[in-house]
Amino acid sequence: MGTYEEKLSILSEMISFARVDHSLKESEYGFLLKVASNLGIDKETFDGLLKERSPKVVLKSQAERIVQFHRLLLLMNVDREQHKKEVDTLYNIGLRMGLPPAAISQVLEVMHNYPNNVIPPNVLINIFKAHYN
């Protein structure tokens, strides 16, 4: 996984996305804290990101962008609520990452076929692979 700065940027983006609805629910905080831990970021640093964003670092590889999109998708569904603003924001983030619009739309559509809207990683990867071939 990338540099420390990339990891902080990933978390900052996720925190910002979680706050699209102007709040940070306990379930979202817990999920973000687990992601931070998986990235090797301690709780104190993570809590600091809640107060001040880290500079944006563009993820270099397509695979890293797809993984980040998946994290954001999981974050959107962790509270089992979905709002149009969240879906629209996630779609736009995917576009800014350079992901294919049709693949993003397909992911957002088929997620409803899975329990708690959690698309298995292999299904998500296959959707993106199909759009790159």
Distance from the Cα of residue 91 to its chain's centroid: 11
Question: What residue ranges define each of the domains in the chain, with the CATH number in brackets?
Answer: 4-132 (1.10.3680)
pLDDT tens string 66-109: 999 999 999 998 877 777 888 999 999 999 999 999 999 999 99
Mean pLDDT in residue range 1-16? 89
String of DSSP letters for 45-97? HHHHHHHSPPPP----SHHHHHHHHHHHHHHHHTTS---HHHHHHHHHHHHHT
pLDDT at position 1 is: 56
**What stretch of H or E contains 120?**
none
- Rg of the Cα trace of the chain? 14
pTM: 0.87
Convert the pLDDT of each residue in 104-128 to its tens digit.
Answer: 999 999 998 998 888 999 999 999 9
